[in-house]
Amino acid sequence: MSTDTHDRLHKDRIIIERYAGQPAQIPPALIDRVKALNNGRGPLLYAMADLDTVGKLTQGWLVLGHDEVFFFATADDNNPDRLDRSEIQQVMELPGLSSSALLMLRHNSRLPLMQVNYSRRQKQAMENIRFVLDQQVKGHAVSPENADRAYAESVSAKIKDAQSSVMSSQFQIIMRLIGYFRPYRKDVTVGFACALVVTMLNLIPPFITGYVIDKILKPLELGELSSTATTEITLSIVGGLALLYLTRELCVWVRLKRLAYLGENVAHDLRRDLYSHLQKLSLTFFSKKQTGSIISRVSSDTDRLWDFIAFGVVEATLAIVMLIGLGTVLISMDWQLGLILVIPVPAYLYAYYLHGKHINKYFMKAWRKWSDVTAVLSDTIPGMRVVKAFSQESREVNRFGKRNDKALESFREVHGVWTKFWPMLMGTVHFVTLIVWAFALPRVFGDWGKPLSVGTFVAFLMYMGMFFHPLEVIGQITRMLNRAVSSAHRVFEIMDTEPDPTLSNERCQVTEVSGKIVLENVNFSYDGVHETLRNISFTIKPGEMIGLVGPSGAGKSTITNLIAGFYQATGGKVLIDGRDLAEVDVSSYRQHLGMVLQEPFLFHGSLLENIRYGQRDAGYEDVIEAARAANAHDFICKLPLGYDTVVGERGHTLSGGERQRISIARAILHNPKILILDEATSNVDTETERKIQEALNKLVQGRTVIAIAHRLSTLKQADRLLVMKDGQLVEQGSHQDLLELPDGVYRKLHNMQTELHEQFAI
């Protein structure tokens, strides 16, 4: 091993060790250097800048002094970049996927006075410095000694504001959910009417009970009623109650059926809209979100809304109506006892509100933990072969168990808060009940106060029991509401994400494509910090086959991603037949585009369905013709069910070469004018490669083709080769022309592969 290589590995090891441990500590020698440059005054704040301008690990330091900002490119840097703090008029963070950059600028200036790149691990320390400088720009002095606390308070304030905004927007979220009721207005009306009838019918039995005690039993004791009269009264009351209960149960059945269907329909529509919106989002969105989190929002969160949608809204409305109605009845029966029950109601409702505000954050945390559980499933199940190949079953069980335990802990916190609140509230309710008994019994006994008849007292007690039921319902709805709002917030968070602007019917529709592709001074960065492509310019004529070659990480796949419209160039233009790809509807353009990838993706389903995935209306004969052209027909016919054979998820029941030929058949049937081949013949044996190559030779005829291959022998048929290195186009020309360049990149790659081939041949 060379000395340079050993030093570099040693340096990387030190940096990685810093990653694994606590936040990086500034070297004492660097503190002395800062003092020497800063009139004996040491650093106020510092942060490790662990990435250089091209994204490689390094060990730089950003140091905040009393009057200046210093940037040491390395720990041994004796000539750091220096910037007077008074020159800084704007401080901003440029976030990326896995790294960020801190920019210090003058107003309206695009060129930063100083730029520092760092990974997510250094975010806290960098944000402390940014916070102090930002406060300085705003004219607010912050003591660096208190920067950690001040920054933490500023961050927590934003979180509290966000939580507050969720609570304050509960009404908007509920109204947005209710907006999904519009197609089902009939179900809502019938269900609500039946629930209202049930509520009204429930008020009759207590009244009948009081009437029987006061108007029938008393006269009966005094001998004022004959047996004939009592028989008629009995038949009337029993018949009336039978009709009442029959009507009530009929209304309950209609209500349950209508509202249950309503909840399922609304949840169905939510899932449909959410999934439809997901299809409109860019690949950048999916690269930043965990698959498990997205799946849980489409499935679990929409399912949690079902109960609230079906019964919560109607039940809450009826509970309030019943509370008002019963309060009126109780006060009309006896205003003194009625007021004892009614006056505390606003306090109960306010307690529900405060409790809901408190428990909402626990629900949000619990749903996040549940998403983590789903994320493990979405990671592990598709990769089960890798898990078993490396005997990591126990590790995955432990990983799932840890996240499952954390989810359980979060849900226990939710139930702990709820179960602590509910007994306390019901204790207050029971205390009020005792007060009613204490004031009512002396009046029934005639000891003091206005006399109270036994019938009225019994009826009052029955209504009092009913009066507390709406309070319990409202309490349950409050918990259901917070649960639903938390889930709805997660659902609407995705639905409110701006769709990919390239997928818009308002843009120019692409109906025909000849296949001319032009890249003009194209720059691109995935994270906004490190440029993957720099000043790429070339033209591809219609029907021309272009080979993209170069080392790994040179930017070859990025170019094809831009041509496919998966990402938009951050600088320059990508033109298709003279039309800027940023100005056309990419969905209509992709109907003329085909791709054969290194790892072909097959869906769980039949081979027939997979081949005509891009042409759903293709006939059986067309599918067979495409399969023949892809050299896939013969092996398909040998399968038990032929084209109706169902392949497993991602096509794992087929070999790699068979999956690739199905992918090629799919592209042939799609009949694109522009074809992208990304390592289509890699990772297969020689015989399979020959069959795939024969299929590709048929596929490329009459099309504009962009092919990526590390195996340069597969690109000999290309009309022209474009050679990439470090995000730049360094060479272009035919295979023979590039071999004649003495120090050419392509020649070196070709010679290296030739030597390796000779070694393997030996």
What is the rounded average pLDDT for all residues in the chain? 77
Residue 17 has what pLDDT? 40
What number is the average pLDDT over the span 3-28?
50
What are the beta bridge partners of residue 63? Answer: 46, 70
Strands 57-64 and 68-72: antiparallel
Least confident of 533-547, 587-601, 744-758: 744-758
Residue spans of the domains in the chain: they are 3-163, 266-495, 513-592+674-762, 603-671
What are the beta bridge partners of residue 538? Answer: 519
Please state which architecture CATH assigns to domain 513-592+674-762. Answer: 3-Layer(aba) Sandwich (3.40)
Note the pLDDT tens digit of each residue in 506-518: 677 777 888 888 9
Residue 706 pLDDT greater than 80, yes or no: yes
Note the pLDDT tens digit of each residue in 356-396: 777 777 777 776 787 778 777 767 776 676 676 667 778 88
Q: DSSP state, 577? A: T
Residue 12 has what pLDDT? 44
Residue 684 has what pLDDT? 54
Tell me if the domain spanning 266-495 has CATH number 1.20.1560.10.
yes
Which residue type does 554 have?
A: A
Residue 759 pLDDT greater than 60, yes or no: no
Tell me if the domain spanning 3-163 has CATH number 2.30.29.30.
yes
Instruction: State what percent of residues in the chain have pLDDT above 70.
Output: 80
Residue 164 has what pLDDT? 42
DSSP letters along 37-94, please? HTTT---SEEEEEEE-TTS-EEEEEEEE-SSEEEEESSTT-SS-EEEEGGG--EEEEE
Residue 71 has what pLDDT? 92
Note the pLDDT tens digit of each residue in 135-168: 888 776 655 555 445 444 444 444 344 444 444 4
Residue 19 has what pLDDT? 41
- Measured distance CA(66)–CA(68) in Å, rounded: 6
What are the beta bridge partners of residue 595? Answer: 676
- Measured distance CA(577)–CA(563) in Å, rounded: 12
Under a CB-based contact definition with an 8 Å cutoff, are residues 695 and 631 in contact? yes
Note the pLDDT tens digit of each residue in 466-504: 887 888 777 777 767 777 777 777 788 788 777 766 555
Residue 155 has what pLDDT? 42
* pTM (two decimals): 0.58
Q: What angle do CA 226, 229, 233 make, to 5 degrees?
A: 140
What number is the average pLDDT over the span 668-678?
82
Q: How would you list the strands of the sheet with 728-733, edge to edge?
A: 593-596, 674-678, 704-708, 545-549, 720-725, 728-733
Residue 610 pLDDT greater than 80, yes or no: yes
Tokens linked to 672: 């694109």
What number is the average pLDDT over the span 733-755?
80
What number is the average pLDDT over the span 521-540?
81
Instruction: Examine domains 513-592+674-762 and 603-671 and report if their fold is the same.
Output: yes
Residue 227 has what pLDDT? 63
Note the pLDDT tens digit of each residue in 65-96: 888 899 998 888 888 888 888 888 888 887 76
Residue 758 has what pLDDT? 55
Higher pLDDT, 355 or 254: 254
What number is the average pLDDT over the span 563-570?
83
Where does the pLDDT of residue 225 fall: very low under 50, low under 70, confident under 90, or very high at 90 and above? low
For the chain, how many residues are written?
762
CATH numeric code, 603-671: 3.40.50.300
- Measured distance CA(450)–CA(452) in Å, rounded: 6
Number of other CB atoms surrounding residue 698 within 10 Å? 14
